[in-house]
Structure 1
Amino acid sequence: MKIKEIIVVEGKDDTTRIKRAVDADTIETNGSAVNQTTIEKIKRAQETRGVIIFTDPDFPGEKIRKTIAAAVPGCKHAFLPKEAAIAKGGKGLGVEHASPEAIRIALKDAQIMHEVISEEITQEDLVTAGLIGGEGSKDRRIILGKLLKIGYTNGKQLHKRLMMFRISREEFAEALRVIRQEEQNG
């Protein structure tokens, strides 16, 4: 599988793992303190080939993602579920531990985060759906993030992420239907 865009990852081990899964070029941020030189490389890559931000599913990875997205609009975002990024033996979490298949799926599902224009789904909708502030809400958000391919978010981030990916009411309702079905089937 050949990837046209340049993939932004955190480090060398991520690059190695990605190159085992797909034919692609990468830019490494070398940690969460993304410097201006790296931002300039990413801007150039976005102008010429496009960029996919593919960071670890943890707090530092999200920090890198937000830093790059703020500096370089229009990038695609690929998300890896936490369980697909856990090292054998449970010591470590990141892209470098993911299977080639998990990486290919995440890259295939990459999508652009847009500036927030309108509110299709309200905060009240999230509370009513049991995604914020109730028993089992975290588990529902994990499933929702996988179904909509927007990654895991905490309660505060969820509303913004739904708007940034322009998730429609219909997509949201269908994902909730699947979540409720899974809960009933236990």
Structure 2
Amino acid sequence: MRLVSRILIGAAAAASMVALGAPVAANAATTSASSAATAASSSYFQDDWGPYFSSDDKARARGQVTVEKQPYKHWYWKTHVVKHKVCKDGKFGKKCKIVFKKHKKHAWVWKHRYVFTVDSTLRNHKWWGGKKCAWETFKVVGHDGHTYFKSFRNCEKFPAHYSFSGKDAAHIYVDVSRGHFGGPTGHHSGWKDVYHAAP
């Protein structure tokens, strides 16, 4: 009887340990999956830029640039040559020849795009008079050489916050200047570095 009791107690203890271990294993799996997801969505690059000033020191811009490395499937048509044996019945029997035909197949490979976000704070130290606005103009140069510009203004006393995004930038520059409501007119800082992709 004592032997049976000991066996039952031992079995109950083992069951309890298994029951306690299951949540731990589940938590470990959840933590591992969460860590993997966080790593996949983490920033590829992040840095501050500026501050940069207009040549009269009445406008100031500074901020941060973040780049995310995002995988995607690149689809393309893959051409391959297939060898066929073609036979025909002729006057003197069956004749065969080898024919090469091209076939196209839809295939894909993993590639990456680099999505950037530029955040900026533009300050205006002269918000009265004719040319009362602070301006910042960003120049974005893509890996393919394509260039475009993005401009923001602040004609008020308080700091203005701006943000814009794009993808696959090789270089990003900013020019800080002064102007009126319609656009910059002078006191340019010249092109200052914001971001340069790794070679």
Do both proteins adopt the same fold according to a TM-score greater than 0.5, normalized to the shorter chain? no
- Relative to its length, the structure with more helix (as a share) is 1
- Relative to its length, the structure with more strand (as a share) is 2
**TM-score, scaled relative to structure 2:** 0.20
**TM-score, scaled relative to structure 1:** 0.21
Larger Rg: 2
